[in-house]
Amino acid sequence: MIMAKRITKRSDDYSQWYLDVVKEAQLAEHSPVRGSMVIRPTGMALWENMRNALDQMFKDTGHENAYFPLFIPKSFLSKEAQHVEGFAKECAVVTHSRLKSVDGGVEVDPDSRLEEELIVRPTSETIIWDTYRNWIQSYRDLPILVNQWANVVRWEMRTRLFLRTMEFLWQEGHTAHATKEEAVEETLQMLEVYRTFAEDFMAMPVVTGVKTASERFAGAEDTYCIEALMQDGKALQAGTSHFLGQNFAKAFDVTFQDKDGDHKLVWATSWGVSTRLIGGLIMTHSDDNGLVLPPKLAPRQIVIVPIYRSDEEREMVITYGESMLNELKEHGIRAHMDTRDAYKPGFKFAEHEARGIPLRIAIGPRDVENNKVEWARRDTLSKEITEREGLGARAAVLLNTIQQDLYNRALARRGEMTSEVETYDEFKEVLEQKGGFIYAHWDGTAETEERIKNETKATIRCIPLTEATPGTCMVTGKASNQKVLFARAY
């Protein structure tokens, strides 16, 4: 059975297409716990590649990894008013510490009620800043540059695999600084790390900008973000970096003694990306045949499929394939040979295509005799036959070409789906007929922002970090500092 036949066309039902791609690529599936997912080995390998690349980028910028508790005392969230308000409706609460056996089953032991309820980590600012109070006494203790790889829980029942689930994996950086300038510099530095990762590793072009007051992180003074455009014309917030000011230092009494002996509040940042990036990767590059992966992140960059009809041919082809496999690995390429006898080559081709492996090599007895190699690119579905000599070097060049071509294709698509408008009528017309990113002037008021959201379901994705061009708001005609980026979003 050809797997592509089990994948709905994007043009027929984009949402179902996305779910089909996730399923056929064996990335994840729904779990028995409503709202949560099981990440399958292929999906986990993809996340691990993302994590490893980001982790190195964090360490290259001076950050270290630590780990903080999953459970947070309820009182901690009460200390920062904006923060608790932002997460109150998403928190899972632990009220008891044990179960007891009853008639062959179990129930909550009413005698085990906790003196103070515990919140299952929705984000870690509160418990980390309570910890930092013990770590920071002097300017000599600053800056603290810490990152945590963890899982979080935000009670969300309307879910979509990777894009929105009740529990998800992420990293969250939490840094402490002596000055506002240092903290702002850190915030922008990590935004640039995310932009670089998205574009260089994910081949996903993004717009960088700052969120409006209504869209910023709960408890932050400024939230910066990277915004990507998916194939269906909707935006995806792919990462955020927050300048927290001194809000959490005030809430948890985190001060330091400066060089002059004065006690001052610490300045803070936090920043994070999650397994939502996998959803963004799928919707940026994949097609009606299944998953398409950029080589830098693909768990397997090349698969070799031997083709044979007899035991004698099998031995000859697999020996040929093993020499190729060894050469590819010597070039640092993540390669695999599919020697499963229970499946025919056609099934294997379709399966590896659905899983998004960037390059496929097919070899049969004639290829062995002629010292040839048949290559198939997943991104273009094109094939070519070359000499066996120079296999590893040619593979490396092809993988780099695919990586760049995927970025160029996504960038060109974004350009085609990006518009600039001057009037509200034009805005609504473009939004309905074309969608995508729309740049338009906005008067800077929450009232106008809310009106646009209510009337069109489009939101201000960010105020781009580009040179401002003054104009007039498309809705009210009032003065506007610059055009902002609108879109309907996930």
- The tens digit of pLDDT for each residue in 381-395 reads 999 999 999 999 999
Identify any residues that bridge with 271 across adjacent strands, giving them in sequence order: 173, 241
Position 329: which residue type?
K
- The tens digit of pLDDT for each residue in 71-100 reads 999 999 989 878 888 888 999 999 999 999
Phi, psi of 177 (to 5 degrees): -140, 160
Q: Among 149, 155, 148, which Cα is nearest to 119's?
A: 155
Answer for the pair 254, 260: CB distance below 8 angstroms, yes or no: no
Q: Among 463, 451, 464, which Cα is nearest to 424's?
A: 451
Position 464: which residue type?
P
If you count them, how many residues does the chain have?
A: 490
State the fold for domain 418-487.
Translation Initiation Factor IF3 (3.30.110)
What does the alpha-carbon distance between residue 262 and residue 246 come to, in Å, rounded to a whole number? 16
361, two tokens: 């090599």
396, two tokens: 């490396």
Q: Could you tell me the residue ranges of all domains in the chain?
A: 3-96+120-285, 302-402, 418-487
Q: Among 87, 118, 113, which Cα is nearest to 100's?
A: 113
Q: Among 238, 226, 241, which Cα is nearest to 271's?
A: 241
Answer for the pair 238, 209: CB distance below 8 angstroms, yes or no: no
Task: Give the CATH number of domain 3-96+120-285.
Answer: 3.30.930.10
| Per-residue buried b or exposed e for 56-91, using 16+ beta carbons within 10 Å of the residue's own CB | ebbeeeebeeeebebebbbebbebbeebbebbeeeb
Strands 222-229 and 235-245: antiparallel
With tokens 């996930």, the residue in question is 490
Percent of the chain with pLDDT over 70: 99
Is residue 314 exposed (0-12), middle (13-18) or buried (19+ Cβ within 10 Å)? Answer: middle
Alpha-carbon Rg for the chain, nearest whole angstrom, is 26
Three-state secondary structure readout of the chain: CCHHHHCCCCCCCHHHHHHHHHHHCCCEEECCCCCCEEECHHHHHHHHHHHHHHHHHHHHCCCEECCCCCEEEHHHHCCCHHHHHHHHHHCEEEEECCEEEECCEEEECHHHEEEEEEEECCCCHHHHHHHHHHHCCEHHHCCEEEEEEEEEECCCCCCECCCECCEEEEEEEEEEECCHHHHHHHHHHHHHHHHHHHHHHCCCCEEEEECCCCCCCCCCCEEEEEEEECCCCCEEEEEEEEEEECHHHHHCCCEEECCCCCEEECEEEEEEEECHHHHHHHHHHCECCECCCCCCCCCCCEEEEECCCCHHHHHHHHHHHHHHHHHHHHCCCCEEECCCCCCCHHHHHHHHHHCCCCEEEEECHHHHHHCEEEEEECCCCCEEEEECCCHHHHHHHHHHHHHHHHHHHHHHHHHHCEEECCCHHHHHHHHHHCCCEEEEECCCCHHHHHHHHHHHCCEEEEEECCCCCCEECCCCCCEECCEEEEECEC
- The tens digit of pLDDT for each residue in 472-481 reads 999 999 999 9
5 falls in which pLDDT band (50, 70, 90)?
A: low
Answer for the pair 484, 440: CB distance below 8 angstroms, yes or no: yes
Answer for the pair 232, 14: CB distance below 8 angstroms, yes or no: yes
Is 2's pLDDT higher than 70? no
Q: pTM for this one?
A: 0.96
Position 188: which residue type?
L
May I ask the CATH architecture of the domain 302-402?
Answer: 3-Layer(aba) Sandwich (3.40)
Report the half-sphere exposure of 166 (CA within 13 A, side-chain side): 17
User: What pLDDT, on the 0 to 100 scale, is given for residue 1?
Assistant: 39
What does the alpha-carbon distance between residue 58 and residue 64 come to, in Å, rounded to a whole number? 8
- The tens digit of pLDDT for each residue in 411-458 reads 999 999 999 999 999 999 999 999 999 999 999 999 999 999 999 999
87, two tokens: 């997460």
Higher pLDDT, 6 or 43: 43
Identify any residues that bridge with 72 across adjacent strands, giving them in sequence order: 119
316, two tokens: 């000859």
What does the alpha-carbon distance between residue 389 and residue 362 come to, in Å, rounded to a whole number? 16
With tokens 């948890």, the residue in question is 252
Is 409's pLDDT higher than 90? yes
- The tens digit of pLDDT for each residue in 44-66 reads 999 999 999 999 999 999 999 99
- The tens digit of pLDDT for each residue in 330-383 reads 999 999 999 999 999 999 999 999 999 999 999 999 999 999 999 999 999 999
Position 50: which residue type?
M
User: What pLDDT, on the 0 to 100 scale, is given for residue 379?
Assistant: 98
431, two tokens: 């939004």
Mean pLDDT computed over every residue of the chain: 96
With tokens 């716990």, the residue in question is 33
Answer for the pair 266, 255: CB distance below 8 angstroms, yes or no: yes
